[in-house]
Structure 1
Amino acid sequence: MGVRELWTILAPFCERRPLYELQGKRVAVDLSCWVCEAQNVADYAVQPRMYLRNLYFRTCYLLLMDVSLVFVLEGKAPELKYKTIASRNAVQFKGAKPKKDGVKTGKDRSRFNHTLKQCEEMLKLMGIACVKGEGEAEAMCAYLNEQELVDGIISQDSDCFAYGAQIVYKNFSISQQGIHAAKGGSVDIYDIAKANQSLNFGRNKIVALALLCGSDYSGGVYGIGKDSVLKLFNMVSDEEILDRLRSWRDQNSVYEELEMRISNKNLCTSCGHCGKVQTHTKKGCPACKTSQGCDSNFKNERLDIKNELNMRSKALMDAEFPDEGLINEFLAKKSNVSKLNLKWRKPDLINFVKFTVKYLTWEEIYSFEKFFPILTRWQLLHHEEAKSETHGTASPKFIKKRRAPKGVPSYEIVWEDKSDIFQNLIPEEQLKQFGDIEKLWSTIEPQDLVEKSYPQLVRRFEDSKKPKTRKKKNPVEEIDDLMKNLSITKPVAKKKPKVQKHTLDDFMVKISTPKKDCPFDLNQSKFGDENDLEVSDIVDDIVNREAPSLSKNTAMTVL
């Protein structure tokens, strides 16, 4: 719960934002709040230890968004909170089996701490850092935030602001359903700096609100509500408010004088000077130097004084008001942490599977399927460390395809177990029932992480996706290929017999060359025995010859 009415006062300064805005931030998580959100940490018939299941999936979501996490566990509870703890135990463990090992369920947190230890064990298997405060977990969270060791706190408890927190993430949800849901989950962001700038509403006023309206440590003052407190806050600064509350008991004479002034019927209620308000309205006020009415803001001041006196009378009915123990609980420094190691250590897949089989009754293959993407993401983010520490890691086999979940360019990678470290982790009957083993070993990873960790794997995949260059073919080859694809045989052209061409020169040589070894027959009686084809060729040769050019001095003889 925290400080009563504080969430209502801070509501105008709340922003509902998508969860992806936490990407890259350092966040402290109040672990007890996530456990308490289940309302009952007793075993369920359908899903035992629901708080472990919810814790795992929420943590996975933040890890895959590259959020640096530290979980804060409860320390020793302050005595002021014993009554609240007892009432919470009655609700949280209602219906649970009585413990036989001596674990108490009364005013301390022994049984609840046993629950937190199970959560801590699972978080360590996931490689997440856990710290334990000396007192309340929200006090440690607030200290880490105030010292700028984390950027914000995930909590439902408004006490964080009384302890000094600056930014609180409330109503954390990974659901995409409901009126406040956003794509990929959402969260309410409260920044106390905005409230302080607008209302001068700082840490001291939050502690004062806890004193007057109540908190986990006290019930507050009976009969005092939020509106009365805010009127007082408008009169007093944040630096002065706690001393003002102390003065209610220490400076009794001052407040008695104010009471006499407010109750004096001889004083005008409009300006506080001598006279009746009716007389001043008609004839004016000599002290205000007016002829009609009053010239003073005492009317509003009188209402504020009357409100404070009324609150004081109710508060002093409690002999211990103001409770200095409560003020000290919120304002005293309880931790001294200068450094915080938020490094994500290597997840332990084998022991995680064994843990979930024991505590969540998950099947081995289901645990492997849910946890394997956490291991591969760690390898991508800590590639150099993963190379030197091959035990309990996987090796990328090949990139299957491109993906874009929620618009993020990614690769689907198929991994393999080269060291056989995960062999026999999953029973054979579960593997047979699952069927697609390649799908079991597949994860979707952001492209930038894959390119940075496994550049050769990316290059091999991208080269396989490039279109192959084809040699340009001439038209005849393209027709041949087309005919082959259509299973049509190209008709074979018949070769024509080679015919020797005969020219007029050949014929003249034939009849005029008197050489003995000439292949032509010189017998003139055989003239006219030439082949018709041979004669045709001679005629074509004569026709195609160009006429000889005649010079100017050439005389033509006319026969």
Structure 2
Amino acid sequence: MGVGGNFWEMVKPYGRREGFDYLRNKRVAVDLSYWILQHQTAATHTPNPHLRLTFFRTINLFSKFGAFPVFVTDGTPSPLKSQARILRFFRSSGIHLPLPDTSSAAAVVVERNQHFLKCVQECVELVELFGMPVLKASGEAEGLCAQLNKQGRVDACITSDSDAFLFGATCIIKRLIPNSQEPFEFYLMSDIEAGLGLKRNHLIAIALLVGNDFHLKGVQGIGLQTALAFVKSFHQDEVLHRLCQLGGGTGNTPTNKPDDPILKTSSPHCSLCGHPGSKRSHSKDSCQRCTSAGHEGCLQKPIGFRCDCSSCDQGKKEKEHKKNEAWKMRVCKKIATEPNFPNNEIIQIYLNNYHTNFTDAEPFISWKSPNTEMLIDYVAFKLNWEPSFIRQKLFPLLSTIFLRKTAKNQETDLLYGQYEFDCIQRTKIRFGHTFYLVSWKKSTQTVNNNIYTTPSKEAEDYDGLVDIFDEADVTNVHIDDGCLMTDENMDLVMAAYPEKVDQFMQQKEHKESKSRKKAKATPEDSSSPTSRSVQLNITQFFRSSKGETYEKIKDDDGFPVAKRNAAGSTKFSKSARRRLLLE
């Protein structure tokens, strides 16, 4: 949930969309609970859909987008979070009960339900077999994601929980769309600061006023737009302190009291022309503004006329000031009447900059090689897929690891223990992004163990399902004469095999030059239907009896008749010949 109200709609004008390479070689913290909750909205009937979604998204992030994911799980929730979960459960069930005490809420529930915890544990086992790092937060997972992002250990957080901004995150990827030219919808805290003038403390103040994950209610009668306008009137260093003063009943509005007299500084205006000065004074001495237009005496003011003199301008400012003061006073009264507002424990949770249970000063984050065989056995058992089908889906991830190791001059065995880099077939464009189509040939020293065979009917059914995530669209693997072909990042292939890229570019240039020479050597014959410079008409492409030439002759009655040049002319009746003639 995060901040109450339509928070994402408020910041949507400041969101960004980026293409494939936005996360290339970057670290990203993934709120694993966010992925697990998303599978509940997908229209799928596969067993263990949370594992299927995590399986495909991990491969997408690592191979297609080139990112280094760090998975983060929730720790023990605070009593306030447990209390909010109870209230949310009552609301979803249609039961409206008073909010229970914090102490009783903590005794009733501390962790999530057992089914959800089982899903989390299974996903953790899966990503660990992938070789991905998994960190457990001391409290909220988005808090640890924000901490890693704020400290520069990751470049972005993947979560839809807006609380991450309150915890200090600087970049949140809210939405991931694999089958798109711009698959990343993300938000930068710097853009929100520039567009709305809100900083971290302002967002915390808004969450306290409209509701959050620890207190769903907020302040009665204050919505998101009211909270936004109210907190912007304070500096970020004082906004939380002022809320504490107002909630505790010790603070006043930051301006004059409503009953303070406001001095009237407006001067009299003529009722005829509307300019400064009375009508009597204008009858004695002409109005300077009217006479300046070349007229004697005052002119009748038009409908809707408003004077723009300094006196009227000052009166407008005073009126607007008084209206703004009255509005602030009403908001302050609502805050003052809210019991136990604000909760300092919620403020401390958001301002806490340490969300891990690690004893070391810095959490150790490293990526390991996947345990391929155990991973295949685990997925085959959980999702009922054929091992050959799983190997095919894993191949792009393993090829990416192989190319990265080769680029770093690390010792690398054969890919999958049996394949080696062969050549670059051609370039390929997918969703506006260019890849190399790389061919991997099987080494003669390996045993016969096919990567891909025809999958079982169950695997075909599961992979063929279309859901809102399109997670099955990982980098495709093609088979050609015993070689496997994958789509690989061009920069990565260049770093790993520069000589292969040079060879491919030379071959490409040779083919293009040969085509150009052939085009120049071919004589251009405009009369020839096979000439490349002449566009053939449809009758030359599709030859039929209607497309053949005819010579006009006349029958015995004097009517023209179409006759084929070729032998065996067709005889038509007179009525048919007339229709043909008219057509």
TM-score (norm. length: structure 2): 0.64
Alignment of 1:80-159 (within 5 A): 80-86=80-86, 108-111=111-114, 112-159=116-163
**205-214 vs 379-388, which moves further:** 379-388
1:114 shift after superposition:
2.1
Equivalent residue for 2:389? 366
Higher Rg: 1
Deviation track 1:69-115 (CA, whole Å, cap 9, x = no partner) reads: 111111111111114445778999xxxxxxxxxxx996522522321
Shift of 1:214: 0.7
Deviations 1:175-234 (A, max 9, x none): 3xxxxxx32x52222111122234331011111011100111112111101222122123
Query: 2:28 is paired with a residue of what secondary structure?
Result: strand
Aligned residue number for residue 204 of structure 2: 207
Q: Which residue of 2 aligns with 1:50?
A: 49
Q: Is the CA contact 2:423–2:438 (under 8 Å) kept in the aligned structure 1?
A: yes
SS at match of 1:297: helix
* Residue matched to 2:76: 76
Question: 2:29 aligns to what?
Answer: 28
Of 389-398 and 44-53, more deviation after overlay is shown by: 389-398
Cα distance in 2 between the residues matched to 1:231 and 1:391: 59
Which amino acid in structure 2 is aligned with residue 408 of structure 1?
Answer: F
Give the counterpart letter for 1:120 in structure 2: V
Letter in 2 for 1:59: T
Structure 1's 257 and 441: CA in aligned 2 closer, same or farther, altered over 3 A? closer
User: Which residue number corresponds to residue 395 of structure 1?
Assistant: 419
How do residues 147-226 of structure 1 correspond to structure 2 at under 5 angstroms? 147-175=151-179, 182-183=180-181, 185-218=182-215, 219-226=217-224
Query: Per-residue deviation at 1:462?
Result: 8.9
Distance change >3 Å, CA 22–CA 390, structure 1 → 2: closer
Change (3 A) 1:466 1:439: same
Shift of 1:263: 4.6
Displacement of 1:307 in angstroms is 2.2
> Residue 220 of structure 2: SS of its match in structure 1?
coil
How far apart are residue 455 of structure 1 and its match?
A: 6.6
CA distance in structure 2 between the aligned counterparts of 1:253 and 1:466, rounded to whole angstroms? 77
Provide Cα deviations, 1:284-309, integer angstroms capped at 9, x if missing partner: 9xxxxx98785473323323322222
Among residues 439, 448, 460, which one is paired with 1:412 in the alignment? Answer: 439
Give the AA of the match of 2:234.
V
1:163–1:331 CA contact under 8 A, matched in 2 = yes
Change beyond 3 A, Cα 1:190–1:392? same
CA distance in 2, matches of 1:403, 1:231: 53
Q: How does 1:246-395 map to 2 (within 5 A)?
A: 246-250=244-248, 252=250, 254=252, 261-263=257-259, 267=261, 272-273=262-263, 295=315, 297-335=317-355, 339=362, 342-383=365-406, 387=411, 393-395=417-419
Equivalent AA in structure 2 for residue 409 of structure 1:
Y
State the partner residue of 2:38: 37
In structure 2, C-alpha distance between the alignment counterparts of 1:17 and 1:227, rounded to whole Å? 29
Structure 1 pair 200/460, CA: closer, same or farther in 2 (3 Å)? Answer: closer
CA contact (8 A) 2:140 2:355 kept: no
Instruction: Give the aligned partner of residue 18 of structure 1.
Output: 19
Distance 2:79 2:337 in 1: 22
Looking at structure 2, the residues matched to 293 and 388 of structure 1 have their Cα atoms a distance apart, in angstroms, of 77
User: Which segments of 5 or more consecutive residues in structure 1 lack a partner in the other structure?
Assistant: 93-103, 176-181, 285-289, 469-559
TM-superposed CA distance for 1:405, in Å, is 4.2
Deviation at 1:246, TM superposition (A): 1.2
Residues 15 and 107 (structure 1), Cα distance of their counterparts in 2 relative to 1, 3 Å cut: same
Check conservation: 2:420, 2:441, Cα contact below 8 A. yes
Give yes or no for contact 1:32–1:73 (8 Å, CA) kept in 2.
yes
Aligned residues: 434
CA contact (8 A) 1:350 1:425 kept: no
Could you tell me how far 1:280 is from its partner in structure 2? Answer: 11
Supply the distance in 2 between the matched residues of 1:114 and 1:57 (Cα, whole angstroms): 19
Q: Which amino acid in structure 1 is aligned with residue 79 of structure 2?
A: E
**Counterpart-to-counterpart distance in 2, 1:437 and 1:354:** 27
Deviation, structure 1 residue 21: 2.0
Equivalence map 1:490-509=2 (5 Å): none
- Residue 443 (structure 1) aligned with residue 486 (structure 2): yes
**TM-superposed deviation, 1:447:** 5.4
Q: Supply the AA of the counterpart residue of 1:70.
A: V
- Hey, what's the Cα distance between the residues in 2 that align with 1:252 and 1:280? 44
Whether the 8 Å contact between 1:28 and 1:150 is mirrored in structure 2 is yes
Any idea what SS the aligned residue of 2:121 has? helix
Q: Give CA-to-partner distance per residue, 1:489-543, whole Å, 9 cap, x none.
A: xxxxxxxxxxxxxxxxxxxxxxxxxxxxxxxxxxxxxxxxxxxxxxxxxxxxxxx
C-alpha contact 1:71 1:130 (8 A) present in aligned 2? yes
- State how far apart, in whole Å, the 1-side matches of 2:45 and 2:379 are: 15
Q: Relative to 1, partners in 2 of residues 1:438 and 1:342: Cα closer, same or farther, differing over 3 Å?
A: farther
- Structure 2 partner of 1:501: none
Equivalence map 1:463-502=2 (5 Å) = none
Cα deviations by residue, 1:419-454 (Å, 9 ceiling, x for unpaired): 54x8599899979x9996956844343455446545
Whole-Å separation in 1 of the counterparts to 2:415 and 2:89: 43
Equivalents in 2 of 1:372, 1:150: separation in Å?
Answer: 26
Change (3 A) 1:370 1:76: same
TM-fit CA distance, 1:146? 0.7
- Which runs of 5 or more residues in structure 2 are unaligned? 93-106, 278-309, 461-477, 512-583
Whole-Å Cα distance in 1 between the matches of residues 91 and 19 of structure 2?
A: 32
Matched residue, 1:3: 3
| Structure 2 CA distance for aligned equivalents of residues 440 and 338 of structure 1 | 48
- Which SS does the other structure have where 2:367 is aligned? coil
Identity %: 25
* Distance apart, 1:458 and its partner CA: 7.2
Cα shift at 1:361: 1.4
2:546 is matched with none
Partner-residue secondary structure (3-state), 1:193? helix
**Greater RCO (Cα-Cα under 8 Å, separation 6 or more):** 2
Partner of 1:210, secondary structure, is helix
> Is the Cα–Cα contact under 8 Å of residues 30 and 72 in structure 1 kept in the other structure?
yes
Task: Tell me which moved more, 336-345 or 163-172.
Answer: 336-345
The answer (yes or no) to whether the contact 2:126–2:375 under 8 Å persists in 1 is: yes
Secondary structure in 2 matching 1:8: helix
